[in-house]
Amino acid sequence: MNVFADESIDRQIVERLRSAGHLVEYVAEMEPGISDEAVLARANQGSSILLTADKDFGELVFRQRYITHGVILIRLSGLSSNRKAEIVVDNFTQHEGELIQSFTVVTPTTVRIRRQIG
């Protein structure tokens, strides 16, 4: 799966996704500090799912109606980077077919997947 990781994502998550065979572009390696709108545009250009820890993307998707290939918002504060990576990769594996054109929120105990209205 193509993934575009926002700079709010821990490097360990990016590395673990790459090890699992996903193609991951990482803002922190490319162009740190770009706007949220630019992040969404770059993700869409690559038909990539956006992986972020920034809640502002919910505003862009639901209130401003930005169209996306999919967004995964991780809410895993307080966990080690390795544990976060494990949870994210496990959820990619379990829900891969549901992530496209959805807004997904991953917490330590739940995954909420909401299909975007196109």
Domain that holds residue 102: 2-115
Confidence band, pLDDT 50/70/90 cuts, at residue 14: very high
What is the pLDDT of the chain when averaged over all its residues? 92
Q: What is the pLDDT of residue 68?
A: 85
- The arithmetic mean of pLDDT across residues 82-108, rounded, is 94
Domains held by the chain: number: 1
pLDDT at 117 over 80: no
Express each pLDDT in 33-63 by its tens digit. Answer: 999 999 999 999 999 999 999 998 888 888 8
Residue 113 token pair: 């997947």
CATH number of the domain that 30 lies in?
A: 3.40.50
pLDDT band, residue 104 (cuts 50/70/90): very high
How many CB atoms neighbour CB 95 within 10 A?
15
- Its pTM stands at 0.93
Residue 75's pLDDT is what? 97
